[in-house]
Amino acid sequence: MRKIVAGNWKSQKLMDEGRELIDAIAQGLNKQQGKTEVVVAPPAPYLAAYASDLQVEGDRHVALAAQTCSAHGPGAHTGEFTAEMLRSAGVHQVIIGHSERRERFGETDPIVQSKVAAGLAADLQVIFCCGEPLEVRKQGEENAWVEAQLRSALSEIAPAVAASRLVVAYEPIWAIGTGETATAEQAQDMHAFIRTILNDLFGSGTGAEIPILYGGSCKPSNAAELFAGADVNGGLIGGASLNAEDFLAIIAASDAA
Ligand code: PGA
């Protein structure tokens, strides 16, 4: 199984600060043995410049992801950037459906579904985010909530495409940026459930191959415990990805898992 640790910077870091952070991560990776794939998702305006910097990096490289892309193709859509534009700028991955996009920027399930389709059609790796709010967890309805998000966004994807370019991130909303983390057991239970849905959508051979990342206050002190879950194949890291030492420690925890 592939393992992935991805850093979601959100709207943080100026361009030079981000470049320093990527340099520090790349230098750290050269000293760490391991197979975890490492991704960072900086603010969109820096992506093309970072993509050309990164062409000269060493063996264990840092890949770039965008934090969103347009649901549409090219056209008169002021302010939008398409999945193909990302690819043409040297970016090969995109995060879609993050709860902050859904909650603050009106991304409904149909919009998320279109964005996932656009990303995959442009040959990007899509890191699809799902996860329930606190009220839903309190009512014990989290599985139904996450299942609906998965089925709505992923039902039209061909198994071969899912096998090669789909990654799922489970991010319970109540754990994002709150310091509160799902317990290792809560994370594994949900990841195992997500795996059953992926098996149902794509066939069990393919479902077993799709990495499922945990996100929500994952940090050096809890990463090893979270990554010990059989269906926890890495993390999507917010706050702790803004500091090279913390991010490298989380990557090391994934390598060791
Ligand atoms: P956090 O964010 O690690 O700061 O909780 C995770 C995310 O939103 O991807």
pLDDT digits (tens, 9 = 90+) for 154-185: 999 999 999 999 999 999 999 887 877 889 99
Helical residues (DSSP H) of the chain, grouped into ranges: 15-31, 47-54, 83-88, 99-104, 109-121, 134-138, 142-154, 159-165, 184-202, 204-207, 220-227, 244-256
- Of 98, 100, 107, 132, which is the active-site residue? 98
* pLDDT score at 58: 52
Q: How far apart are CA 195 and CA 83, in angstroms?
A: 27
* Residue 80 a catalytic site member: no
Distance 130 CA to ligand 1 centre (A): 12
* Residue 209 a catalytic site member: no
Under a CB-based contact definition with an 8 Å cutoff, are residues 66 and 42 in contact? no
Tokens of 208: 């077993």
Tokens of 134: 């606190």
Q: How far apart are CA 38 and CA 141, in angstroms?
A: 33
Q: Pocket of ligand 1, candidates 104, 237, 242, 247: which has the most ligand atoms within 8 Å of its Cβ, to mutate?
A: 237
pLDDT over 90 percentage in the chain: 91
- Of 100, 132, 142, 171, which is the active-site residue? 171
Closest Cα to atom 9 of ligand 1: 238
Cα 2 to Cα 135, 146, 257, distances in angstroms: 33, 22, 12
